[in-house]
């Protein structure tokens, strides 16, 4: 008995070519999509708008700073005021621009009651946007504000 080799048919060698047809198909589809969407993105209607003195660019947000020291003394624009004078000044501010924000700078040793009194005066004057100015505890010394809107819980 002799052991001989079994004849096998040689298999095809592995393909080392990249089939470019699917790649070209995908690129053509993307090209068509971009050709259709590009005019929609770039189109705008050219207008020559009339001029008016009444139209003004948007104004920057206005604010007024109220400072309360640890003794409870209230300052507005570096002037010491009592609550009735503060109410008058804030009412004048509210008449000129009711969207003015009141930024409260209160000492950390201040009693909560005094802070609430000042907030009440500002709201009665018609200024409902109140922000608290704090110092961050990190190395950054820029003050941060937080605006509280009435009726919204933080």
State pLDDT tens for residues 36-67: 888 777 655 565 556 666 655 555 568 898 98
* Whether the predicted model's global pTM rises above the 0.75 cut: no
At the second CATH level, the architecture of 63-148 is 2-Layer Sandwich (3.30)
- Domains of the chain by residue range: 63-148
Predicted pLDDT of residue 88 = 93
Predicted pLDDT of residue 18 = 81
Predicted pLDDT of residue 24 = 93
Backbone φ and ψ for 130, nearest 5 degrees, come out as -125, 130
Cite the beta strand spans of the chain per DSSP E.
63-68, 74-76, 79-81, 101-106, 129-134, 144-148
Cα distance from N-terminal residue to C-terminal residue, the chain = 95
Predicted pLDDT of residue 9 = 76
Backbone φ and ψ for 32, nearest 5 degrees, come out as -65, -40
With beta carbons less than 8 A apart as the criterion, state whether 124 and 104 touch. Answer: no
Predicted pLDDT of residue 121 = 93
C-alpha span between 35 and 44 (Å, rounded): 17
Which residue numbers in the chain have pLDDT < 50? Answer: 152-154
In sequence order, the β-bridge partners of residue 105 are 67
Predicted pLDDT of residue 111 = 85
Place of tokens 């946007």: 129
């Amino acid at each position: 008995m002799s052991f001989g080799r079994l004849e096998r048919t040689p298999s095809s060698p592995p393909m080392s070519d990249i089939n470019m047809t699917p790649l070209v198909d995908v690129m053509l589809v993307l090209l068509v999509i971009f050709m259709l969407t590009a005019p929609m993105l770039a189109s705008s209607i050219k207008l020559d708008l009339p001029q008016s003195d009444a139209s003004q660019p948007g104004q920057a947000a206005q604010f007024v700073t109220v400072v309360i020291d640890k003794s409870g003394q209230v300052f507005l624009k570096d002037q010491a005021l009592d609550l009735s004078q503060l109410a008058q000044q804030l009412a004048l501010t509210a008449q000129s621009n009711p969207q003015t924000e009141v930024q409260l700078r209160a000492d950390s040793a201040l009693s909560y009651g005094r802070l609430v009194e000042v907030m009440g005066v500002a709201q009665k004057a018609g200024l409902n946007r109140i922000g608290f100015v704090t110092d961050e505890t990190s190395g950054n010394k820029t003050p941060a504000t937080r605006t509280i809107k009435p009726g919204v819980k933080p």
